[in-house]
Structure 1
Amino acid sequence: MTTSPRYVGIDLGTTNSAAAVFDGDTVTLVRNAQGGTLTPSIVRIDGRGNLLVGSRARRYLESDPDNTRLEFKRLMGTSQEVEFPASGQRRTPEALSAEILKSLRADIQEQFGFVPDYAVISVPALFELPQSAATSEAARLAGFRRVELLQEPIASALAAGWSADEAIGSWLVYDLGGGTFDVSLLETRDGLLRVVGHDGDNFLGGKDFDWAIVEWALGELKAREGIELSRANPAHAGAIRKLKLAAEEAKIELSRASSTVLAVPALVQKDDGPFDLDLELTRATLERLCQPAIERTLTVCRRLLETHGLAPGQLSHVVMVGGPSVMPAVRKLVGEGLACALADRLDPMTLVAQGAAIYAATAGLEARTQEIAVSEGQKVWLQYPAMSSDLTPHVVGRLVETGRSAPSQIRMVRADGLWESPWAPVDDEGAFVITTSLIARRPNVFKIEGRRDDGAHVHLAPSTLTIVQGLTISDPPLSRTIGVALANDQVRVYFERGAPLPTRRTFTLMTVEGVAKGSRESLLKIPIVQGEHDEAHLCRLVGTLEIAGEAVKESLPSGSEIEMTLELDRGGRLSARALIPAIDQVFEDVAQLLVPEADPEVLAASIDAARERIASLRADAFRRSARPQLDRLSSLDASLGDLEADIAAARGGDADAAQKARRALLELDAHLEE
């Protein structure tokens, strides 16, 4: 009896998470204890240390917001910890994400009867190195033995391509999630899905729509009731969180209705008792509030198309992914702005999880740990594609042991009994090659048989294999350039944006100073940066390549060579090792990946400096009558207001707003240096 394979894909989202299981034929969504396919990415820890996840935790967002946390995905890869004051506990974002993954693992066990050890987990296409590393760490904490990371737009594209009868030409995946926005340009031809390029914004998503509603409501409160609340005031944090939850619910309601009520019982305490918020919010007002953010996504889409020589109207279709993408305003503006049809009949909420499960099959990442069968059969090593767009892929094999008892010929028999290969000869080294025959769009199970020259049957281990016929994907491109910062503020690039993944590079560095054996000084400490600028200070600092001097087994003079090898896997995870030839010592895992904390006061000082620089450049442009430059500087000056709002929120304890402001300031500095 042959057991169908099981491939697990997980969409670890900012707002909601989902999982799917692929058996080579059908993708099945995993249902949680409440019967739904979406698990809210929310964790609650009460005063006794009891932990709740998902819908059970969500119930406490209004009554106990201080100990009920959400949207921690945007903090992945930072040193920021999330507080649960009732229990006195602090958790890292990856530890909280691990709780979501544990919940999904338990749901898979309940529905399918096994605990997955291996899975594919999706990440935003523009996730930086520390964020990808943090996702892998969350999976480890959740109990997974191994995971592969997959960019979310690629997962969506793979699911959309698998579902489509005909998908040829260039098309976009527009992935607007709760906290991030990704867009990918893809091309499908002859069963091959090619990722042409990515763009996006790690700090743009449905959460920003919610905050736009909150800011509108705060303005209405002040104007109508004289009640003044501010995101900058930590004392108002509880009321603000209640208001944001109501804003999210109203936003979802307005996807179906033309108006709704923004209602929050006992929002604040007034002199005459609790004040109940009751504001009417119309779809027209919501569209006005959200239009700037939607236009930002379209600017990113047009930039991606222009980079690859395309214009709106030249796409076959756009696949919409993510909860916010179901908003009528988003669909209307995207359809008009890109002048093409939006793909229907696809579930935007679960498409990423479905694609991740399909991708797990292409990677041969069976979710269950394979037990080694107790068998006296001949062991054979096999190499073959777990998923193939070709109808006649090759299977390459090699006998682990050769000798008189080994088979001299191998053949494969398809499980339906309608095809079998000719007997393939085994060469002197025990190798053989067989060309298979697949049935389209389904899993194909084969029995592997062996025989000796005398015709005697030889049992082989393994004795079966499965190949799924379907859409295959080309190597995904790197989303951001990776390099190191040099002492002269220049970037030495090691991996260019767009480079196909996986990729690897070895280069030589020289120590600047001598290091004595056992010294506490660092032998090597070089900043790792990501970005598309030549100047290091305009790129994002994401970690360091570091070797501690105390780890060196012999003293080294200055000018000693260090051979550094950096490797990126298909999911964009970085690994690094160093070799010092002079002492023949290897150092593993020398990349320390962490996004630095963003200090609101430092950011505020940077805004003041940017404002002064804009004023100086504007005066110079005015003297030269440079109208285009004046217009551009006016636009940059106007953007400072949004930055100041984010910094105010950061002062109120919003670490996510601080990281968003830090990213925006880097982009502003880059514009000012153009």
Structure 2
Amino acid sequence: MARTKIDYGIDLGTTNSAISRMENGEPTIKKLPQKDTMASCVAFNKKGILVGDKAYAAYRSEKEAALSKKTENNAFIEFKRTMGTDKKYFSPHFGSELSSEELSAEILKNLKSFITDENFSSIVITVPAAFKTNQIDATRRAGKLAGFDHVEVLQEPVAASMAYGLESNKKDGFWLVFDFGGGTFDAALLKVEEGIMKVLDTEGDNYLGGKNLDFAIVDEILLPHIKENFSIDNILNNEDTKTQYREALKSFAEELKNELSFKDTYNLYKEDRCGIDDDGEEIEIDITVSQSEIEKALAPIFQKSIDISQKLLARKNINGSNLESLILVGGPTFSPVLRKMLEAQICKPDTSADPMTVVSKGAALYASTVDVSEEVKEQTRDKTKIQLEIANESSTVETEEFVPIKILADKTEGEIPEKVFAEVTRSDKAWSSGKVEINTIGDVVEIQLNEGKTNIFEVVLFDDKGNTLESEPSSFSVIQGISGIGSMQTLPYNFGIEIKQKSTGKIVFSQVKGLEKNKSFPVVGIRNGLKTQNQIRPGMDSDFIKIPLYQGEHASDGTRAIYNEHVYDVIITGNDLPALLPENSEVELTVNINKSQEIDVQVYFPYLDHTSEIKVDKDKVQSVETSWLANEIRKAKGSVVELKQDGNSDNTKLQKIEVELEQLEKSFENNKNDVDGKQEVLTNLRKSLKSIDELSETTEWPKLEEALKEEFYRLEEANRDLGNGKTTQVVNQFRSQLEEVIKTKDVKIGNVLLEEISMFFFKLTEIYQFIGMIKGFNENFEDYSWNDSNRARQLVNNGIRNISENPDKEELRQILISLYDMIPDTERPSDDGGLVTG
């Protein structure tokens, strides 16, 4: 029978991956003999492709061989960290370049091949909670390339908490999921009340994981040991050979890391294939490493993950002592170094769940609650059977539930008896509903649930003579003991747009209401109050409005847009509009994000009563130019120098930023040729730049005070000429607010007030712009090829008369619209398009 729920979940990991399936109500790992997971590695040889552990063996051999001779790369790992980027992996054996999603698709195909007893085309694939939109899109593309028709994504910490929650007897309190994987780190804080789970907040780092631990061992233990015994300056002074040598030593570092997860000391001895030093001598590695030495190398990396977790807890005013459970996920969490640090700084971890399989199992659990797509249903539907719609809850904390069941006559090709009865029986045979008559309208069956497990129910149909009838589906399941599965995934970032502040001229990130971090999917965001900077002429591709969409971290509203993650540019040109859209027209933005984090946008123009529908591109990839990034680091360091010269008093913060920039520069030097490494540097640089901006605000007040006074006096003068009682009341309110801001010297509130004063001035003087346009047409009338010159002349004269008597803004607006309709597109005056203002 075709499955009506997805039922399959894949943990697509950086270093290891796994697939699980729901079997008899239990999430079950489908595995290789003696092994729950397989290596996330792809290799090519002259005969074909290797995937998994055999590929990883080839990878290790290739890298170790590279220590002593120049080799070609035909084996690849950790491509999850470059998902959504322009990184390409070239294999001479394959004869072509592959993207990260193409390599990931090979992992997915191999996992799919573990299932030999049925065909399936729907899957849930897990992603880090901190994955950006382009990385999620790339994951979905990998699923499609692997042959899946229906791909849903699920955040990894959410998957882990589902599997843990079903098996744990802890049904209340705060849980912290600590997910330290091979390439990424996520922390998720959940609140659980009587089994109902809700994600309160998440925090993470897409470039913090086991890879960082391995390179820390290379840089802090292996390279110093080799430098002490051999001459390798020529290797390290060349960027290409240094990168290759560090990568080659990484497999030795991984061996050390894994062995010291279970031992107090470990001797790493490699007598050959370790390379040739500058003097032509064969390099040999013979080093015994203790727990204290490995701790010294790894602790700074682990500390970053703990700092992220503590930041998350502090944001919600929660201490480690308040946690009911600290759930470990990912291979590196086996490290005794990490577990000791967690116990000392947060609380003792709960080790009841297997860190290596809990995500895959949770993905299968979630998959058992998600319907396969209508497209897949139609492909697999057996219409000779009576088709049913069973609208059961997928999970619940109740022991009784009502389940509506109805016949889908339009989906059934076989004969449907006049009377049809359904009997629902729990799989343990301890409960049955008895026969209940159903029809195309439907009826409700009350079911009884066993506690703390997945309950499977069989549905059998009968005619009025007691004969059984074939139906589809013929079973359903309900998870008892946890609830809220459908709404557990939350928006991992604040979602906003880039706007130009009229008051300051700054290009900033502006939050879209409804798309705040931690909102449960699906979400809808609305942003009103936007204005066009220039007129948009119909049919003119050169006239455009641009609304860039961004993802921002916590407290990102008002920060410089470039310090956040760009998602997509919504661009609407004159070709998309039915008529002239004047300068300063209102724009209303609606952004929809579904539970699989797919985005679509509507832009409404009240002046035209027109809506533009935009589907956000799902094929965007990121690129970080090496020279640009080097320059950005230099500029950041220069900003710190300027802050010192301006007499910034917060020396502690300045020193912290200086240390951060020094570390970033060192990391950049080690990763100039590594897309993954440069992405990591950029992510952390943005955080430092935000801190620099915050400090800059303390030296900004004198300039802001002058701008506020100048803008307010300009508004007062305009109000004397054009205002009325209502506008005077508003101006007086602004005067009171200005006096208060000057007293407190609050830069943020001051900038908001400056923007509000500027916007009100613009609105008050809008009629001046219409007057200027009418006069322009009058003075240059003969320069235009009017399609009705007499009518145009009449309209311009009416406009001039309106101006001379008692200017009316709406009358002038209508005159201008009519005039624009009478000019050829090529002759219509235009300014460059640009950002909306707000």
**TM-score of the superposition, structure 1-length normalised?**
0.88
1:180–1:205 CA contact under 8 A, matched in 2? yes
Aligned amino acid, residue 302 of structure 2:
I
Report how far residue 538 of structure 1 moved: 5.2
Out of 358, 361, 365, the residue aligned to residue 358 of structure 1 is 365
Matched, 1:343 2:374: no
Aligned position for 2:58: 60
Out of 471, 476, 496, the residue aligned to residue 466 of structure 1 is 476
1:485–1:529 CA contact under 8 A, matched in 2? no
Deviations 1:524-570 (A, max 9, x none): 55343333312243542332133575985967655688775432233
Out of 579, 597, 606, the residue aligned to residue 572 of structure 1 is 597
Report how far residue 431 of structure 1 moved: 3.4
Aligned position for 1:225: 230
RMSD after superposition: 3.4
Out of 478, 485, 504, the residue aligned to residue 491 of structure 2 is 478
2:601–2:616 CA contact under 8 A, matched in 1? yes
Report how far residue 250 of structure 1 moved: 0.9
2:243–2:671 CA contact under 8 A, matched in 1? no
164-173 or 289-298: which moved more?
164-173
Report how far residue 235 of structure 1 moved: 2.6
218-227 or 495-504: which moved more?
218-227
Size of the aligned set, in residue pairs, is 658
Aligned position for 1:251: 257
Aligned position for 1:541: 565
Out of 508, 522, 535, the residue aligned to residue 490 of structure 1 is 508
Q: 2:577, 2:496 → 1: CA distance?
A: 28
Q: 1:487, 1:529 → 2: CA distance?
A: 17
Q: 1:614 to 1:586 in 2, by over 3 A?
A: closer
Aligned amino acid, residue 444 of structure 1:
I
1:11–1:122 CA contact under 8 A, matched in 2? yes
3-state DSSP class of the match of 2:400? coil
Aligned position for 1:91: 98
Aligned amino acid, residue 155 of structure 1:
A
Aligned position for 1:528: 550
Q: 1:385, 1:233 → 2: CA distance?
A: 58
Out of 85, 106, 114, the residue aligned to residue 113 of structure 2 is 106
Out of 283, 291, 296, the residue aligned to residue 291 of structure 2 is 283
Q: Aligned ranges for residues 181-580 of structure 1 at < 5 Å?
A: 181-216=185-220, 217-228=222-233, 229-230=235-236, 233-264=239-270, 265-270=272-277, 271-338=279-346, 340-365=347-372, 371-375=380-384, 377=386, 379-401=387-409, 406-407=418-419, 412-421=424-433, 430-440=441-451, 441-449=453-461, 459=469, 461-462=471-472, 464-470=474-480, 471-474=482-485, 475-476=487-488, 477-488=490-501, 489-494=507-512, 495-505=515-525, 512-514=534-536, 517=539, 519=541, 524=546, 526-532=548-554, 533=556, 534-537=558-561, 539-547=563-571, 552=576, 557=581, 565-576=590-601
3-state DSSP class of the match of 2:524? strand
Q: Which ranges of structure 1 fall in alignment gaps of 5 or more residues? A: none
1:17–1:41 CA contact under 8 A, matched in 2? yes
Report how far residue 430 of structure 1 moved: 1.6
Q: 2:189, 2:541 → 1: CA distance?
A: 50
Aligned amino acid, residue 152 of structure 2:
E
87-96 or 144-153: which moved more?
87-96
Q: 1:178 to 1:445 in 2, by over 3 A?
A: same
662-671 or 290-299: which moved more?
290-299
Aligned position for 1:604: 630
3-state DSSP class of the match of 2:319? coil
Q: Which ranges of structure 2 fall in alignment gaps of 5 or more residues? A: 64-72, 502-506, 695-838
Aligned position for 2:687: 667
For CA contacts below 8 A with separation 6 or more, give which structure has more relative contact order: 1
3-state DSSP class of the match of 2:254? helix
Report how far residue 200 of structure 1 moved: 1.7
- Whichever structure has more strand as a proportion of its residues is 1
3-state DSSP class of the match of 2:321? coil
Q: 1:305, 1:376 → 2: CA distance?
A: 53
Aligned position for 1:50: 48
Q: 1:59 to 1:342 in 2, by over 3 A?
A: same
1:542–1:594 CA contact under 8 A, matched in 2? no
2:243–2:670 CA contact under 8 A, matched in 1? no
Deviations 1:194-243 (A, max 9, x none): 22211121111111111111112223322332223439711333322210
Aligned amino acid, residue 600 of structure 1:
T
Q: 1:583 to 1:619 in 2, by over 3 A?
A: closer
2:199–2:518 CA contact under 8 A, matched in 1? no
Report how far residue 580 of structure 1 moved: 8.2
Q: 1:376, 1:294 → 2: CA distance?
A: 56
Aligned position for 2:652: 631
3-state DSSP class of the match of 2:250? helix
638-647 or 471-480: which moved more?
471-480
Q: 1:77 to 1:555 in 2, by over 3 A?
A: farther
Matched, 1:648 2:669: yes
Q: 1:321, 1:43 → 2: CA distance?
A: 24
Q: Aligned ranges for residues 30-179 of structure 1 at < 5 Å?
A: 30-32=30-32, 35-46=34-45, 48=46, 50-65=48-63, 66-109=73-116, 113-179=117-183
Q: 1:414 to 1:171 in 2, by over 3 A?
A: closer
Q: 1:411, 1:97 → 2: CA distance?
A: 44
Q: 2:538, 2:238 → 1: CA distance?
A: 50
Identity of aligned residues (%): 25
Q: 1:97 to 1:577 in 2, by over 3 A?
A: farther
Q: 1:576, 1:41 → 2: CA distance?
A: 35
Report how far residue 519 of structure 1 moved: 4.2
